[in-house]
Amino acid sequence: MKYCFGVDIGGTTVKLGLFEETGEILDKWEIVTHTEEEGKAILPDISASILAKLEERGIDKADILGIGAGVPAPVTEEGVVNGSANLGWKYKEVKKELEELTGLKAEIGNDANVAALGEMWKGGGAGERNMVMVTLGTGVGGGVIIGGRVVTGAHGAGGELGHVCVNYDETEVCGCGNRGCLEQYASATGIVRLAKRKLAEETRETILNKDTVTAKDVFDAVKAEDAVAIEVAEEFGRYLGYELANLATITDPSIIVIGGGVSKAGEVLLSYIEKPFRERVFFANKDVKFALATLGNDAGICGSAKLVLES
């Protein structure tokens, strides 16, 4: 039996998984991400944790196919990161450094792209080869996979769905410096922003509270048939659904998978995205399916492992 590791490097914790080459998860665990001093301890910590796991399990290095790792930053084809705000990294040769530290082969990818690969392998997109994944969390991330391969692009910055402009009239500025990015409407934060804007001038009764409203509150209120919440969900869905229709015209996926914290709202969320999508999608892409992500926090380690298995 051969094995590999999947590593999901986040700004707070690093998630690690030990996989059989068949895809079975044998073990998973977390370590703290030490971002001090430009995150210089992160790769040594990961390396030490992996080597300790081999020792603990009595697995020989020769039986390890490699380490896959997802990083919250664009990653070049050579496995280089030119800065990651979340990790404190500046220029870092992640692949080279991790290989030198462990003596194992490493494959590095962008975390959102890698999570998409995980969902296509054994999650919401299982069995498909052409998939768009949208991650609706604090921000909006994404991954586009065409013909089984992740669209990484010239800087490893492909699939940045959250920073597509969907509203040229927006006056508030996005974190990226532009205005009208999808993230301003479709992230958890964006949904709260839409809800607060509406509640500020709303006269109808609603169970939403403008001081404490969260994205979860909005979809809970939608399920309780709150008319104001439903209009917020419709606005969210229109921005996201229209943008996904444009994206489908360019990338021609067979399935769109919705993940991230906001997707915990469940099937109701999909209905608000699908309706505007169907109104607008190019005729050649009419049969695109929608699905919720199913791997949750494991998408990153699974996709990272898959990076190794298919390399």
The contact set with a copy of itself (CB under 8 A) reads 74, 77, 129-130, 144, 146-147, 149, 151-161, 163-165, 168, 176-178, 242, 245-247, 249-254, 280, 282-285
Query: In sequence order, what are the residues at sequence separation of 6 or more whose Cβ sits closer than 8 angstroms to the Cβ of residue 220?
Result: none
* Nearer CB in complex with a copy of itself: 253/260: 253
In DSSP terms, 256 is beta-bridged to 132, 290
CB 141 within 8 A of CB 112: yes
* Nearer CB in complex with a copy of itself: 227/250: 250
Q: What angle do CA 284, 287, 290 make, to 5 degrees?
A: 130
* Nearer CB in complex with a copy of itself: 223/278: 278
* Nearer CB in complex with a copy of itself: 138/249: 249
Q: What angle do CA 15, 298, 262 make, to 5 degrees?
A: 110
Give the nearest distance from C-beta 179 to a copy of itself in angstroms: 9
* Nearer CB in complex with a copy of itself: 17/253: 253
- Nearest CA to 296 out of 255, 271, 261 is that of 261
* DSSP H helical ranges for the chain: 36-39, 42-57, 94-102, 111-122, 183-186, 188-200, 215-223, 227-251, 267-280, 299-309
b/e for 209-242, b at 16 or more Cβ within 10 A?
A: eeeebbbebbbbbbeeebebbbbbbbbbbbbbbb
* Nearer CB in complex with a copy of itself: 192/281: 281
Phi-psi region of 9 (alpha: psi -120 to 50; beta: other; left: phi over 0): beta
* Nearer CB in complex with a copy of itself: 48/151: 151
Give the nearest distance from C-beta 282 to a copy of itself in angstroms: 5
Give the nearest distance from C-beta 163 to a copy of itself in angstroms: 5
Give the nearest distance from C-beta 210 to a copy of itself in angstroms: 28
Query: In sequence order, what are the residues at sequence separation of 6 or more whose Cβ sits closer than 8 angstroms to the Cβ of residue 276?
Result: 237, 238, 240, 241, 242, 245
* Nearer CB in complex with a copy of itself: 154/200: 154
Give the nearest distance from C-beta 243 to a copy of itself in angstroms: 9
* DSSP H helical ranges for 58-169: 94-102, 111-122
Give the nearest distance from C-beta 106 to a copy of itself in angstroms: 19
Give the nearest distance from C-beta 245 to a copy of itself in angstroms: 7
Give the nearest distance from C-beta 206 to a copy of itself in angstroms: 27
